[in-house]
Amino acid sequence: MKILHVISDLSPKTGGPVSAVLGLSETQRELGHEVRIATTDYRLPAKDRDEANVVCRCTFPFWRYAPSLKGQLTNMVQWADAVHVHTIWEYPTLVALRLARKLNKPCLLRPCGMLDPWSLNQSQLKKRLYMGLFSRDIFFPGVRLHFTTIAEQEKSLYPSGIGSVVIGNGLAESAFVPRDKTEGFFSVFPSLRDKKIILFLGRVHPKKQPDVAIEAFACIADTYPDVYLVIAGPYRAEYRKQLESLVTGMGVEERVLFTGMLSGKALYGAYRAACMYVLPSHQENFGITVAEAMAGYCPVIVSQNVDIKDLVASGNAGKVCATESKDVSDNMRFFLDNPLLAKKTGENGRRVAEGCFRWRQIAERLTLVYESLQKKQYSKRSPM
């Protein structure tokens, strides 16, 4: 099968949507499919470019506008048996959906949480205007929405009559290394080798509330002097300064480390080195770092707004709590006071990850969806 993925960028700093596209496309190639990715060069390092992808120059970063993309996509959509579009608000998405509709191609649209009420309420006026102008291009009868959790599907707002499917995200095989693979992290941060680590890992952004993680840690810091908080992930310099001021104001500047973005062995080692992972986010349609933490034997503390929470709860892989710092700190105390139970919880998370987050299983399920959409499109074209 010829599969075309369209996404606004492939920058590692974009986070979960990019990780999912790269992991899925790699597995689909391993299964024998022809796979291409159409995207822009927005914040994409030269070393991360792949000849199998079509990367067009982005001239207007805010909308990921790339003048040459439409011409490239016209040929690629014609070539494809199925078009899989990721995210909603950017130019590449709009062009790809218009072409899929025009050329009557099977099309999946993964909103990546952007139809969640919380997300729609951010920059609300702009999004209402965008929907008013382009909703018919986005939500046409031939498109099917791809949600990654049931919670995302239930919360998302979209026109009636548009079909949907729920298929989760997967993890790279390197996420499933053994529990003792911590050296990749400690070799970079040797001062933490004998410390207990609470880990916040992901895009360091107000939506994910690293400030709440800091406040929660400050509540317990005096009681547990050997515990450190690690804030790992890409950030804007202005926001990091705000967080550093918060850390200083709470008197825990010697116990909080900002590592920046982690990758490879340092990334997966961080989960295994930590005694728990925390994400008090306002909104996550999946939570790829939560899944990585579970694969890394790390018990998790997540807010009720993280849509993977049902797997966390049903698999006894961690705690689901409110977004307030007190609830987060209470759960930090629970795992610190019960290390054997914390270890068991981490092992539960690994079992959940093994059963739910393997890319091969997910890619095979998506192939069936593509084929089903293909049959429907063919039956529409066939004479009665």
Alpha-carbon distance of 217 to 312, in angstroms, equals 22
Co-location of 181 and 317 in the same domain? yes
Co-location of 352 and 362 in the same domain? no
* Tokens describing residue 163: 């079909």
* Tokens describing residue 67: 């003048």
Provide the CATH number for the domain around residue 348. 3.40.50.2000
pLDDT at 49: 85
Question: DSSP letters of 5-31?
Answer: EEEEE--GGG-HHHHHHHHHHHHHHHT
pLDDT at 379: 59
Alpha-carbon distance of 15 to 377, in angstroms, equals 33
**C-alpha to C-alpha distances, 104 to 40, 351, 366, 375, 383, nearest whole angstrom:** 24, 41, 19, 12, 15
Q: Which helix (H) or strand (E) holds 258?
A: strand 256-260
Q: Is 201 helix (H, G, I), strand (E, B) or coil?
A: strand
* Tokens describing residue 216: 């929660």
pLDDT at 377: 67
Low-confidence ranges of the chain (pLDDT < 50): 382-384
Per the structure, the complete domain to which residue 229 belongs is given by 173-356
* Tokens describing residue 336: 């610190």
Alpha-carbon distance of 293 to 347, in angstroms, equals 11
167 close to 148: Cβ distance less than 8 angstroms: yes
Residues 6+ apart with CB under 8 A from 222: none
**C-alpha to C-alpha distances, 22 to 16, 19, 93, nearest whole angstrom:** 10, 5, 17
294 close to 271: Cβ distance less than 8 angstroms: no
- Give the count of beta carbons closer than 10 Å to the beta carbon of residue 216: 28
86 close to 6: Cβ distance less than 8 angstroms: yes
pLDDT at 381: 52
Co-location of 27 and 94 in the same domain? yes
**Per-residue pLDDT tens digits for 108-119:** 999 999 999 999
Alpha-carbon distance of 100 to 89, in angstroms, equals 17
Co-location of 309 and 217 in the same domain? yes
Alpha-carbon distance of 223 to 207, in angstroms, equals 28
Co-location of 154 and 200 in the same domain? no
Tokens 């200083």 correspond to 248
Co-location of 182 and 68 in the same domain? no
pLDDT at 52: 79
Co-location of 194 and 296 in the same domain? yes
Co-location of 310 and 249 in the same domain? yes
Please state the domain count of the chain: 2
Co-location of 213 and 344 in the same domain? yes
Co-location of 154 and 104 in the same domain? yes
**C-alpha to C-alpha distances, 221 to 86, 228, 242, 247, 336, nearest whole angstrom:** 41, 8, 20, 12, 11
Q: Is 192 helix (H, G, I), strand (E, B) or coil?
A: helix
Co-location of 205 and 126 in the same domain? no
Co-location of 124 and 206 in the same domain? no
Rounded to two decimals, what is the model's pTM? Answer: 0.92
Radius of gyration of the chain (CA): 21
